[in-house]
Structure 1
Amino acid sequence: MRGEPSCPKCGGRVRAPGLFADSWQCDVHGSVHPLQPVIPPSVEALGVVVHRSQVPVWMPWPLPVGWLFTGVAYAGDDRSGGRATAVACSGPGPLGGIGELLLIAEELGVGLGARYAGIDGLDPGSGMAIDKPPQAKVLAAGRPTPLWHVTGTPQDRAVFAGEARGLWLWAIVWPEQSGLLMYDELVLTDLRDAGAEVELLPCGALTPRLLK
C-alpha cells in the first residue's frame, strides 16, 4: 500500500509545492491534483474523504443485497480539497461470482477515471459515442443520468461514463460481464448529502483495484 501522494493519471511520484511551483508536479504530466494514499475501508476513512471533497462522493444507496464498501480514494490536497473521488464496492455479480464496482466523480482534466478505466488521455474521448443513445442509466442524487459504454478499454472490465452535477461520472465494473449491473438503474447518493445511516455501512476488505 502506498504511503505517499502520487499522480492521479499515471501513479508516478509527485513533488509537493515549493519554491519553484505552487502546485503538485508529476515529471510526466506536470501540474496535478495528487492522489492521496489509499487506506483500508472504514466509516471513519470515508467520512474524511466526504468532509474534504469538493466533488460528489457517489455510492449505490442502499447498497445492493450482499454488497460491501471496499475502499475510497481521492485526488487533491488540504488546500484544494478533493477534486476527484473513487468509491469501491463489491458483492454478488448478476451472473454469479463476485462483482466489483468503482464510481468516480472528477473535475475536467484530473484523469483519475481514465486511469482506472485503463485508457490513455484524461477523458473517454472517441470511445464514448454520445451521438448514440446511452447504454445505461442511473439515478444520481435523484436525477436520471445517462451513461455511455466506453470502448477501447481492457477486456476484463466494463466502463461507462457520463455527466452528473456538471462533473464526470465514471462507473467501472469487474469482471466485464458484471456490467449487467449497470442496466438495473442503480440509485446513487452523493454521500456529502447522506445522513447518519452511513454509520451502518457494511465494510469489506480493501480492493486492490484502487491500488493500481
Structure 2
Amino acid sequence: MRGEPSCPKCGGRVRAPGLFADTWQCDVHGTVHPLQPVVPPSVEALAVVVKRAQVPVWMPWPLPVGWLFTGVAYAGDDRSGGRATVVACSGPGPLGGPGELLLVAEELGVGLGARFAGLPGPDPGPGMNVDRPPQVKVVAAGRPTPLWLVGGVPDDRAVFAGEARGLWLWAIVWPEQSGLLMYDELVLADLRDAGAETDVVPCGALSPRLLS
C-alpha cells in the first residue's frame, strides 16, 4: 500500500511544491494533482474524501445486491481539495464470478480515469463516438446521464464515460463481461449529498484495482 502521493496519470513519484515550483510535479507529466495514498475502505476514510472533494464522489446507491464498498481515493491536496475521486465497489458479476467497478469523477485533464481505464489519456475523447447514441444510461444525482463505451482499452475490462455535473464520469468494470451491470440503469448518488446515509455503507476488503 502506498504511503506517499503519486501521479494520477502514471502512478509515478511526485515532488511537493517547493522553492522552484508552487505545484506538485511529475517528471513525466509536469504539474499534476497528486493522488493521495490509498487506505483500507471504511466509513471514516469515505468521510474524509467526501469532505475534501471538489468534484462528485459517485457510488451506486443502493448498491447492487451482494455488492460492497471496497475503497476510495482522491487526487488533490490540502490547498486545492479533491479534483478527482475514485470509488471502488465489488460483488457478484451478472454472469457469475466476482465483478469490480470503479467510478471516477474528475476535472478535465486530471487523468485518473484514463489511468484506470488503461488509456494514455488524460481524457476519454478519442475512444468515444458521441455521434452515435450512448450505449448505457445511468441516473446520476437524479439526472439521466448517458455514457458511451470507450474503445481502445485492454480486453479484461469494459469502460464507459460521459459527463455529469459538468465533469467527467468514468465507469470501469472488470471483467469485461461484468459491463452488463451498466445496462441496468444504475442509480448513482453523489455522496457529498448523502449525509448520514454514508454511515451504513457496507465495506469489504480493499480492491487491488486501486493499487494498480
Q: Deviations over 1:50-93 (max 9, x none)?
A: 00000000000010111000000100000000000000001011
Deviation per CA, 1:17-44: give whole Å up to 9, x if none: 0011010000000000000000000000
Structure 2 spans left out of the alignment, 5+ residues: none
Residues 142-177 of structure 1, C-alpha deviation per residue, up to 9 Å, x if partnerless? 000000000000000000000000000000000000
Name the structure 2 match of 1:4.
4
Q: How does 1:1-212 map to 2 (within 5 A)?
A: 1-212=1-212
Paired with 1:59 and 1:91, the residues of 2 have a C-alpha distance of 14
CA–CA separation in structure 1 for the residues paired with 2:71 and 2:197: 18
Q: Which amino acid aligns with 2:140?
A: A
In structure 2, how many angstroms separate the alpha carbons of the residues matched to 1:93 and 1:121?
A: 27
1:196 is displaced (CA, Å) by 1.1
Deviation at 1:203, TM superposition (A): 0.3
Runs of 4+ in 1 over 6 A off after TM superposition: none
Q: What amino acid does structure 2 have at the position aligned with 1:95? A: L
CA distance in 2, matches of 1:42, 1:134: 34
Letter aligned with residue 34 of structure 1:
P
Question: What amino acid is aligned across from residue 82 of structure 2 in structure 1?
Answer: G
Matched letter for residue 20 of structure 1: F
**CA distance in 1 between partners of 2:143 and 2:123 (Å):** 22
Q: State the Cα distance separating 1:197 from its structure 2 match.
A: 1.8
CA–CA separation in structure 2 for the residues paired with 1:200 and 1:164: 25
Amino acid at match of 2:80: S
Q: Deviations over 1:112-161 (max 9, x none)?
A: 00000001121112210000000000000000000000000000000000
Q: CA deviation at 1:195?
A: 2.2
Superposition RMSD in Å: 0.5
Paired AA for residue 50 in structure 1: V
> What count of residue pairs does the alignment treat as equivalent?
212
Q: Secondary structure at the match of 2:197?
A: helix
The residue matched to 1:147 in structure 2 has which SS? Answer: strand
CA distance in 1, matches of 2:34, 2:126: 26
TM-score normalised per structure 1: 0.99
SS state at 1:9 partner: coil
Unaligned runs of 5+ in 1: none
Q: What SS does the corresponding residue of 2:96 show, helix, strand or coil?
A: coil
